Amino acid sequence: MRIDILTLFPDMFQGPFSESIIKRAVEQGHVEIVLHDIRDYSTDKHRRVDDYPFGGGAGMVMQIEPIDRVISKLKGEREYDEVIYMSPDGKRLDQKIVNQLSLKGNLIILCGHYKGVDQRVRDNFITMEISIGDYVLTGGELAAAVVVDSVVRLIPGVISDETSALSDSFQDNLLAPPVYTRPAEYKGWKVPDILLSGHEAKIERWREEQALERTKRLRPDLLGEDQA
C-alpha cells in the first residue's frame, strides 16, 4: 500500500509515524508513506497557498492551483483508489471504513487548514471525505494520522499476531473483552478463575459473553439499542 499525504505541515507527522508499529510497517515495506508539502507546489514567490474568500468573511481559503499540481503529478505516476479529504463535514470514521481502506492499494490524503480548501478541489478531485468526530481540529493532519494508523495496522503482516486485529473492539460491532496478565493476584485483586483454567472453549465463551455485556453497558448503540 502507498499513502501520499498532502499537507502544509509535514513535520506534524514525524511523531506518529516514527514510532512503534507504523514505523516498523514502513521499514518492513508493508506501506510507503510519502509526505508532500503543498507549499512546494505554489507558483507564488512567497510560497503562498491561501487567499481571501470570495464574497468576504473571516479566514483564509486554500487555493486550488497548488493542490491541483500535486494531485495531477501523483495521478500521472500511478493510479489511486481514493483521494481523501480530511474534514469535519466528512463521513464519520469507523472500523468499517478502516477495514475497507486497508484493502486499497494507493491513497491520497489531503489535509485542510484555515477555512478549508476551495470547493472546486472537493468537487473535482476528492472521492471521499472523512471526519474523525464531531469537533473541529486546527487542521486535517492529526485526523489523517488517525486514519493512517488505524488502516496500516490492518495490513496483513503488520501486526505479528494477526488474530489480534480480528479480535479488536468494533470488529463485530462489539467492544473487546477485558484482558489480564501476570500477576494472577495483585493487592487482593484477582484475575477471573476461568482465564487460569486452561479450558479453551470455556474461555472463548466467557470472552464472547464479556464482550456482549460490555457493549450492552457501554455502547448499546453498537447493538442497535438506545443509549442509556
Residues annotated in the binding site, as ranges?
Answer: 112, 132-137
3-class secondary-structure state, position 130 = strand
Q: How far is the CB of 140 from ligand ADE (least distance, A)?
A: 4
Does 132 sit near ligand ADE (CB under 6 A)? yes
What part of residues 11-50 is at the interface with ligand ADE (CB under 6 A)? Answer: none
Does 88 sit near ligand ADE (CB under 6 A)? yes
Separation CA 209–CA 193 (nearest Å): 15
User: How many Å separate Cα 94 from the centre of its chain?
Assistant: 9
Q: How far is the CB of 138 from ligand ADE (least distance, A)?
A: 7
Does 131 sit near ligand ADE (CB under 6 A)? yes
Contacting ligand ADE (CB under 6 A), which of 105, 133, 183, 192? Answer: 133
Contacting ligand ADE (CB under 6 A), which of 87, 102, 106, 215? Answer: 87
12-20, 42-50, 86-94, 154-162 -> range binding ligand ADE (CB under 6 A): 86-94
**In residues, how long is the chain?**
228
Does 150 sit near ligand ADE (CB under 6 A)? no
Does 3 sit near ligand ADE (CB under 6 A)? no
Does 220 sit near ligand ADE (CB under 6 A)? no
Number of residues binding to ligand ADE, judged by CB under 6 A: 12
* Residues in a beta bridge with 84: 109, 128
φ/ψ of 206, rounded to 5, equals: -60, -45
Contacting ligand ADE (CB under 6 A), which of 135, 163, 187, 200? Answer: 135
DSSP string, 159-226: SSSHHHHHTSTTTTSSPPPP---S-SEETTEEPPHHHHS--HHHHHHHHHHHHHHHHHHH-GGGGTPP
* Residues in a beta bridge with 186: 189
Strand pairing category for 106-111 and 61-62: unpaired
Binding site for ligand ADE (CB under 6 A): 86-88, 112, 131-133, 135-137, 140, 143
